[in-house]
Structure formats: C-alpha cells, structure tokens
Amino acid sequence: MNTTTSPSDDSILLLQVTGMTCQGCAGTVQRVLSRVAGVREVVVELTTGQVKVRGPVSPEQAVAVVQDAGYGAQVA
C-alpha cells in the first residue's frame, strides 16, 4: 500500500492568479505551469483569474512558478 502524501497523477489544484490582463498573460501562466514535471493539463480562466492544474504538482511549486513569471498566485 502506498502511503505517501505526494499528489496523485489525477489530482487537481486550483489557483487564484492576479495580474493577468490579457490573453498573452494567460498564455504565459499556462506555459510556465505546463513546463512543470508531471503537469498534464492547465486551464486558465482569464476573466476570473482561476487556474486549474491537473497532475502531481505541489501547491508550493505551482505558486512559485507563477510568481516567478511575474504574477500573484495563491491556492484557491
């Protein structure tokens, strides 16, 4: 039995991202999160600032890569 606490391949992480003002911004957020190892899908909703990340990524890592790209981010 696997008892690790790491996210599973099918886990979904919701982020609230601030500072996105256009489709280019949304594309940047999608691109940087898609490059994280294990991420299978990223859906960015520009109008609400919500980002859905599917895959075994830690919340801390996802927030950090978005912040490194110049946007505000927190777990929704």
pLDDT for 3 beyond 50: no
* Fold of the domain built from segment(s) 22-75: Alpha-Beta Plaits (3.30.70)
pTM of the predicted structure, to 2 decimals: 0.87
- Residue 9 clears pLDDT 90, i.e. is over it: no
Distance CA 17, CA 15 (A): 6
Mean per-residue pLDDT, 43-54: 98
Q: Where are the domains of the chain?
A: 22-75
- Token code pair at residue 49: 């600032």
pLDDT tops 70 at residue 2: no
Give the amino acid at 35: R
Share of the chain above pLDDT 70, in %: 89
pLDDT band at 6 (very low <50, low <70, confident <90, very high): low
| Count of other CB atoms within 10 angstroms of residue 28 | 17
Strand partners, 41: 54
